[in-house]
Amino acid sequence: MTVNGINQTDIKANTARKHPTYWFDDGSLILQVEDVAYNLHKTILTRHSPLLQSLTRNTEDGYKVSVVQIPEELGVTGEDFDKLLEHLYHDMYLNFPNVHKLARERIISLLPRSLEGLSHPEFADQALTLAVRYELYPIQKALFYTVSTHMHFEEHDGEGDANIEAPSQAEAAPSVHVPPDVLQRCKDLLDQLIAHFTPILFTVATAGHMACTDVLAETWMPLVIQPALENNGLCRPIETLQAIIDLDWGTHGLCQECVAEKVEEWKGEQAVVWNKMDEWLGMQKKE
């Protein structure tokens, strides 16, 4: 049988008809599935299929186009093969909706989505880039916070490159790429975080009892402000507030009642920061 002048010794004689869509003039691999012949691009298929690699390995017979018939015992139908080609030749390469849906759900399940579960995952910058590109809104806020509060913006070269400081390894911050529009949103968020938290950090807390207020006045600088300044705490309000909460205020003279009151207040401040990020990031309607 000859299709477009190509001798197809491996295709059943006089049974194949050219596929109306997947017959490309510049194809390099002719496949027959049932009674339909496809002229496709060999590298697109063989890179994803060890079977096709093995079937095409011995089909070169002096012609530029490899010719292969899919064995009937594999049970591949023309309808199935058409569906596969729709994905392989889709405008968005390998567009598998169900697989993408499962991947989205899995990624979202692996990354922090709430204030209570806030953590700083490795490669947060790459995760943020993907979360923005694929509109994974549930995880965007936590990732924006992590990248914004651990990025060295002064080292940004103007083309999206910046250093991300791993929370536990500041001295070994890797060089990464963040798209310019995402980078700008991170910068804007950091500005908002600092503007919001500065007066909170530098205003000495008060308590319900005068004696406890005096304790806070005496200890606020050495226990709160100084450590925050030494550890980039002004840029990281949620972590700084948590550090304040974790202090053993009772050993410094606060009564149990005032400790409980202040802990609730500082937790409330964390929630305010978390909730305000929706506004600062413009995410109110993107849940």
20, exposed or middle or buried, with CB in 10 Å at 0-12, 13-18, 19+?
exposed
pLDDT of 193 reads 97
pLDDT tens per residue, range 131-162: 999 899 999 999 999 999 988 765 554 444 44
Quick check: 31 pLDDT over 60? yes
User: Do the Cβ atoms of 123 and 108 come closer than 8 Å?
Assistant: no
Quick check: 226 pLDDT over 60? yes
Q: Report which of 236, 167, 145 is spatially closest to residue 198, judged by C-alpha positions.
A: 236
Selected residue with higher pLDDT from 52 and 275: 275
Per-residue confidence band for 2, with pLDDT thresholds at 50, 70 and 90: very low
Q: Which domains does the chain have, with CATH numbers?
A: 2-88 (3.30.710), 101-194 (no CATH), 197-276 (no CATH)
pTM, full prediction: 0.65
Quick check: 276 pLDDT over 70? yes
> Which residues, at least 6 apart from 214, have a Cβ–Cβ distance to it below 8 Å?
none
Average pLDDT of the chain is 83
Please state, in angstroms and rounded to a whole number, the distance separating the CA atoms of residues 183 and 153.
9
pLDDT of 237 reads 97
Quick check: 203 pLDDT over 80? yes
Distance (Å) of CA 276 to CA 72, 269, 273: 61, 11, 5
Secondary structure of residue 3 in the 3-state scheme: strand
